Amino acid sequence: MKTRVTELLGIEYPIIQGGMAWVAEYNLAAAVANAGGLGLIGAGGAPAEFVREQIRKTKELTDKPFGVNIMLMNPEADAIAQVIVDEGVKVVTTGAGNPGKYMAMWKEAGVKVIPVVASVAMAKMMERGGADAIVAEGTESGGHIGSATTMTLVPQVVDAVSIPVIAAGGIADGRGFAAAMMLGAEAVQMGTRFVVAKESIVHDNYKKKVIAAKDIDSEVTGMSHGHPVRQLRNNMTREYLKLEKEGASFEELEHLTLGALRKAVVEGDAVNGTLMAGQIAGLVKKEQTCAEMIQEIMKEAGELLHK
């Protein structure tokens, strides 16, 4: 399937893997790239030199295009922005902020820039700043989220900009893919389904929780201090939401979450760790290779779109 996004990125299928902190490391990025999608390394809160190593390791596993996602709240974001240029990475996506200050250096280096946004205003601002495409991410997504749903956000962003739009949030199968195309998107970004990929290094306890999750098993923490994060309900979310309700300070809550994502992904602490996942987790039923996932989605979507 050809769209402006497959042309822009030189990929076979219009499927982009989410830039999930801790989860989106080189094994997953390379597996998605080799399966014909766009693989991403999620820099999350990692130091710049760690990201450089991840880029080099990805290159050893694939000669297909891949990108890096920068979480803009990372204190090392400036250094990571430079690593992307130095290592010749072709695509960058950004999250949790405004990448405006890096746009000129990336464009000059020929890097394709795809900001992830949660509003029409931000999408327009990014287009004016020179973005090549935009990910419109609905509140169904896991991790740090905005408030608009994918169903409402995607068509409004499509109408507001001329650059290609990639839909994210609540998409995990061929039906979601086809629906996103109907809303005017030219690719989808998926995170939650790739968490349970065979090539994903996520701890088995975390994968099991995603596979067991039902439709209403996620909670949004951090709403009170302006950093809403969607994750699966567990002891951590119950504790967090209780403290938040009692008016705990940002610092207190931060203390609770510090390192909690690593605890879940690496150590498999599904009780006190942060199990970031989207609302579509209820649809994710089994571990498969990235190639199996992408093939299945494209086949199902092809049949639906043909009908």
Residues making contact with ligand TUI (CB under 6 A) = 21, 44, 71, 95-98, 116-118, 122, 137, 143-146, 227, 229
What's the closest the beta carbon of residue 279 comes to ligand TUI, in angstroms? 14
> What one-letter code names the amino acid at 187?
A
* CB closer to ligand TUI, 103 vs 178: 103
What's the closest the beta carbon of residue 307 comes to ligand TUI, in angstroms? 33
* CB closer to ligand TUI, 229 vs 270: 229
What's the closest the beta carbon of residue 278 comes to ligand TUI, in angstroms? 10
* CB closer to ligand TUI, 132 vs 301: 132
What's the closest the beta carbon of residue 123 comes to ligand TUI, in angstroms? 10
Region of residue 167 (phi > 0: left; psi between -120 and 50: alpha; otherwise: beta): beta
* CB closer to ligand TUI, 3 vs 98: 98
What's the closest the beta carbon of residue 42 comes to ligand TUI, in angstroms? 8
* CB closer to ligand TUI, 92 vs 96: 96
Residue nearest to ligand TUI (CB): 143
